[in-house]
Amino acid sequence: LQDNIARAQQYMQRFKEQGVLNHINGESVPAQSGATFDTISPVDLKPLASVARGGSEDIDRAVKASQEAFKTWSKTPGKERRAILIKVAEAIEARAEEIAFTECMDTGQALRFMSKAAIRGAANFRYFADKAPEAEDGLALRNDTQMNVTSKRPLGPVGVITPWNTPFMLSTWKIAPALASGCTVVHKPAEFSPMTAKLLVEIAEEAGLPKGVLNLVNGFGEDAGKALTEHKGIKAVAFVGESRTGQMIMAQAAPTLKRFHFELGGKNPVIIFDDADIERAIEAATFMIYSLNGERCTSSSRLLVQDTIYGEVTRRVADIANNVKVGHPLDPDTVVGPLIHPEHEKKVLSYFDKARAQGATIAAGGEKVGEEGCFVRPTLFTQANNDMAIAQEEIFGPVLTAIPFTDEDDALRIANDTEYGLAAYLWTNGLNRAMRLTDQLEAGMMWVNSENVRHLPAPFGGVKSSGIGRDGGDWSFDFYMETVNVSFPR
Ligand code: NAD
């Protein structure tokens, strides 16, 4: 651990000395106003670096740079874009340790997951790079009199706004397909975790990405984020964050008629029937909530268990929760690190009181760990029902609410009784039951007898208040490209 901390300090020394600057048209620049804010480490709440606090004038400069760069990047042959983006993937792999260590200190996420997330960022670049050469392809449609030729074009400069949970990986999930499509990007990362976004733009330019193609403006949602969504030079906004922020962005961007892609909150059920492989179900359900600090949009935050096995399952889940290692994010054994920020910690802790007040039982955890930093013990609520705040609101921490159900209809009713619809997990050995339920569950993504295992070509996204649009495979390209049709007489 001490060795890892020393290495992390070395990696972050430059940010300590120079701050985390914006990156516009290939140059590291402070905010034009000179304003800054501190990013703190959730391990000890000490400042890690000062960060440029961008505003509308910085966004305007970044959008102008991305408009200028769009003129050549959008015309760069797909094969050349592919070659550059593959180099970006290789450069990410070469600096994966630096990215992972920096991310651990900036977000509190444990190294065992962040080292994989950095590599996943490279995989995102590689996957979308490979699709760049064919991105403009369409098809010909003809009838007796006309020949219609459809093709695709990059949309223009786009805004990418990302949250603080696994920020590096998530931003590559948006930025890689945008660049592969021929779009240019202005990225506004989350104010709680700005460091690895700066690493990404530097790595990309060192690997050959032309200046102005990817620009970075740090700052708060209400100024830099808002200005980005309102700018008329931005053709689309790819946003990952809370549902209520999505609502604000839609209103802010309405006067300039933008395309939106929203990946928002979730309150995902994991449904366990008594005919399931209970051992595997428990292992998956606990992994999905007690890893990545529970700060994961697809986490299984509602545990719906058939009443015949509810007592046994919740006893074993409580046992697992009590044994999860909470500790320093750079300790290789740590599973749960500190939550991102004291503000977020306060929100998570508030649900312990709400649970007690509403009559739920705290079967594990339910308290802060230690005095220093934002460490919270993995928590299980039992004796809960779906009307409680702990079952309806996204807590976004290592906090699980267990609710019993009687039969299929009851499970379905409880699972769908939420404003969200991102993911659902179903555990049963009944094939017909799995078919019936997945046909009626209100979720954009479902896994049967499995935890969240991602496949990059598969669609990713939610229904209801969990999002609009899909990422992954060709769905990403549909978002960043305009489909045009030309009709000729035959
Ligand atoms: P958030 O909505 O508070 O912030 C996300 C980003 O939006 C930040 O960069 C923030 O500065 C910016 N922002 C805030 N107000 C804005 C405004 N008015 N205009 C423009 N930008 C604005 O979310 P968060 O707390 O950083 O992240 C956690 C949330 O993200 C959770 O709800 C989680 O479920 C969600 N999330 C969803 C997915 C998914 O794929 N569906 C993935 C990861 C996280």
pLDDT digits (tens, 9 = 90+) for 211-230: 999 999 999 999 999 999 99
* Burial category of 461 from C-beta neighbours within 10 Å (exposed 0-12, middle 13-18, buried 19 and up): buried
CB of 467 shorter than 6 A to ligand 1: yes
pLDDT of 151 reads 97
Provide, rounded to the nearest whole percent, the portion of the chain with pLDDT above 90.
100
Average pLDDT of the residues of the chain: 97
Q: How far is the CA of 265 from the centre of ligand 1 (A)?
A: 9
What pTM value is reported for the model?
Answer: 0.97
Average pLDDT over residues 352-360: 96
- Between the CA of 245 and the centroid of ligand 1 the distance, in Å, is 6
Q: Which amino acid appears at position 399 of this protein?
A: V
**Catalytic site residue from 103, 205, 263, 393:** 263
**What is the interface pTM, i.e. ipTM, of the complex?**
0.96
Instruction: Name 427's bridge partners.
Output: 272
Ligand 1, closest atom to CA 266? Answer: 34
- How many whole angstroms from 190 Cα to the centroid of ligand 1? 7
For residues 334-343, average pLDDT: 98
Cβ 301 vs Cβ 398: under 8 Å = no
CA of 241 to the centre of ligand 1 (A): 2
Q: How many angstroms separate the alpha carbon of residue 62 from the centre of ligand 1?
A: 21
Q: Which atom of ligand 1 is nearest to the CA of 471?
A: 40
Ligand 1 pocket mutation pick from 245, 288, 295, 346 by most atoms within 8 angstroms of CB: 245
Among this protein's residues, is 263 annotated catalytic?
yes
The rounded Å distance from CA 197 to ligand 1 centre is: 15
pLDDT tens-place string over residues 64-92? 999 999 999 999 999 999 999 999 999 99
What is the per-residue pLDDT across 175-205, written as a single tens digit (0 to 9) for each? Answer: 999 999 999 999 999 999 999 999 999 999 9
Residue nearest to atom 39 of ligand 1 (CA): 263
Rounded Cα distance between 171 and 124, Å, is 10
Q: Is the CB of 294 under 6 A from ligand 1?
A: no
- Residue 266 in contact with ligand 1 by CB distance below 6 A: yes
Mean pLDDT for 397-405 is 98
With a CB cutoff of 8 Å and minimum separation 6, the contacts of 229 are: 159, 161, 237, 249, 252, 253, 258
Whole-number pLDDT of residue 366: 97
Q: Ligand 1: which of 188, 297, 399, 465 to mutate, most ligand atoms within 8 Å of CB?
A: 297
Percent of the chain having pLDDT more than 70?
100
Q: Whose CA is nearest to atom 16 of ligand 1?
A: 221
Task: Return the bridge partners of 399, or none.
Answer: 379
Pocket of ligand 1 contains residue 229 by CB under 6 Å:
yes
Does 219 sit in the ligand 1 pocket, CB within 6 Å?
no
User: What local confidence, expressed as pLDDT, does residue 360 receive?
Assistant: 98
* CA nearest neighbour of 22 among 53, 49, 64: 53
Interior/surface letters 377-392, b for 16+ CB within 10 angstroms, e for the rest: bbbbbbbbebebebbe
Tell whether ligand 1 has an atom less than 6 A from the beta carbon of residue 344: no
Q: Which residue's CA is the nearest one to ligand 1's atom 22?
A: 221
Q: State the pLDDT at residue 75.
A: 97
pLDDT attached to residue 408: 98
Q: How many residues does the chain have?
A: 490
